Amino acid sequence: MNLKRRSAAPALLALIAAGSLVVAGCGSDPNAKPGGNGGGNAAGGPPANCGGKANLTAEGSSAQKNAIDVFIQSYQAQCSGQNLAYNPTGSGAGVKQFNAGLVDFGGSDSALKDAEVAAAQQRCQGNPAWNLPLVFGPVAIGYKLDGVTNLVLNGEVAAKIFNGQIKTWNDPAIAALNSGAQLPSTPINVVFRSDESGTTDNFQQYLTASSKGAWTQGAGKKFAGGVGSGAQGSAGVSQAVSGAAGSITYVELSYAQDNNISMAKLDSGSGPVELTPETVGKAIESAKVSGSGNDLKLDLKSVYGGNTAGAYPLLLATYEIVCSKGYDAPTAQAVKAFLTTAATNGQQQLPEAGYAPLPESFKQKLLTAIQAIG
């Protein structure tokens, strides 16, 4: 999964400028202090307690790499002389390196699995490791259909498209969701990720949760729909759809925008919802925390299968895997400072990178957990 943003997202930026999400300020804080205690914070929440270990290390999810780059810039602006080196080797490698004590925290597309919890606790000197969801990215169901730019889908119809039960664009099930639209009899060309992808896994989880049993193929990083043609990576699927009328795919927001692909509104039962920062923020707010205390492991099935009014349900979450306690004092201080910066000032530039900023209520949950790291 790659959420890289290669050009500005005007719709996202305009909505944020209009105040659709609580994200204040822009750029570095003029009151930031170079090192020591009390690095300034222009975006609300506690100030970063700069200092400690000068060169943090982290490894894992490639999905969040571009967001981490944004966070590093904010961290360096706020805490002079501090740095983080992030190696985007994939979620599995990130968890392994964290559990082996080779990096200060891990990045993962999913929370720690049951089989990984004991090793993480041992790495943290007998203390629990926490899953902190820091980066969220919306996924579009992108399509190209001449004369149709305002398509509405729901989980059931999307599932039947992506497993081949619905074969043409004027199918009655699609028409029922798009009253008045002139839907052609064009065959539907499904385009899927041919490589293993966290985007595919989350998309199939969405179909499983939202389709009322229409999707029986399960989840996983390989597309299981059994129809269509594959393309390599997010760039490949978006380019394939942009060049072929009648095509449909699932792809990260930035790629849909950059390739001028129309994006379907999703109706979870409370009316069609367009993909915007505000609607993604509502989905994040509606996500249930399945972890206990400050372990913020999420149950995204509550989002995928929910019907919260105004919430866009198809999104990805990536985690930072950290020790609740067990770091030496300099490392704990620096980890907390980096994550505090990332959750506050670092959120401001995320739309330009193709990610969704944290809504205020969720940000406060995250900051509470960060401040409790020992």
Provide the CATH number for the domain around residue 49: 3.40.190.10
1 occurs within a structural domain: no
End-to-end C-alpha distance for the chain, whole angstroms = 32
How far apart, in whole angstroms, are the C-alpha atoms of residue 189 and residue 244?
A: 8
Pull the structure tokens for residue 190: 């499904």
Residue showing tokens 């009151």: 31
Q: What pLDDT, on the 0 to 100 scale, is given for residue 20?
A: 34
Torsion of CA 117, 128, 88, 263, to 10 degrees: 80
Q: What pLDDT, on the 0 to 100 scale, is given for residue 34?
A: 37
Q: What pLDDT, on the 0 to 100 scale, is given for residue 39?
A: 53
The angle, 0 to 180 degrees and rounded to 10, between the axes of the packed helices 198-210 and 155-162 is: 120
Q: What pLDDT, on the 0 to 100 scale, is given for residue 211?
A: 97
Q: What pLDDT, on the 0 to 100 scale, is given for residue 90?
A: 86
311 occurs within a structural domain: no
Q: What pLDDT, on the 0 to 100 scale, is given for residue 40?
A: 54
Picking from 273, 352, 335, the residue whose alpha carbon sits closest to that of residue 107 is 335
Q: What pLDDT, on the 0 to 100 scale, is given for residue 351?
A: 87
Do 66 and 167 lie in one domain? The reply is no
310 occurs within a structural domain: no
Do 99 and 158 lie in one domain? The reply is no
Do 185 and 217 lie in one domain? The reply is yes
Do 129 and 151 lie in one domain? The reply is no
Q: What are phi and psi of 296, to 5 degrees?
A: -95, 40
307 occurs within a structural domain: no
Do 206 and 83 lie in one domain? The reply is no
198 occurs within a structural domain: yes
Range of the domain at 40: 10-137+291-302+318-371
3-state secondary structure of 234: helix
Do 29 and 48 lie in one domain? The reply is yes
Do 56 and 156 lie in one domain? The reply is no
312 occurs within a structural domain: no
284 occurs within a structural domain: no
When divided into structural domains, the chain yields a total of 2
29 occurs within a structural domain: yes
Do 221 and 251 lie in one domain? The reply is yes
- What string of pLDDT tens digits covers the 374 residues of the chain? 444 444 434 444 333 333 333 332 333 333 333 344 445 565 566 889 999 999 999 999 988 998 999 999 999 999 999 999 999 988 889 999 999 999 999 999 889 999 999 999 999 999 999 999 999 989 999 999 999 999 999 999 999 999 999 999 999 999 999 999 999 999 999 999 999 888 898 999 999 999 999 999 999 889 999 999 999 988 999 999 999 999 999 998 888 988 999 999 999 999 999 999 889 999 999 999 999 999 999 999 989 999 999 999 999 999 999 999 999 999 999 999 999 999 999 999 898 888 999 999 999 999 999 999 99
How far apart, in whole angstroms, are the C-alpha atoms of residue 191 and residue 302?
A: 27
Do 296 and 182 lie in one domain? The reply is no
Do 45 and 75 lie in one domain? The reply is yes
Tens digit of each residue's pLDDT (9 = 90 or more) over 84-126: 999 998 888 999 999 999 999 999 988 999 999 999 999 999 9
Tens digit of each residue's pLDDT (9 = 90 or more) over 234-264: 899 999 999 999 999 999 888 898 899 999 9
Q: What pLDDT, on the 0 to 100 scale, is given for residue 44?
A: 61
Do 192 and 159 lie in one domain? The reply is yes
Q: What pLDDT, on the 0 to 100 scale, is given for residue 246?
A: 97
Pair 158, 207: CB distance under 8 Å: yes
Do 93 and 32 lie in one domain? The reply is yes
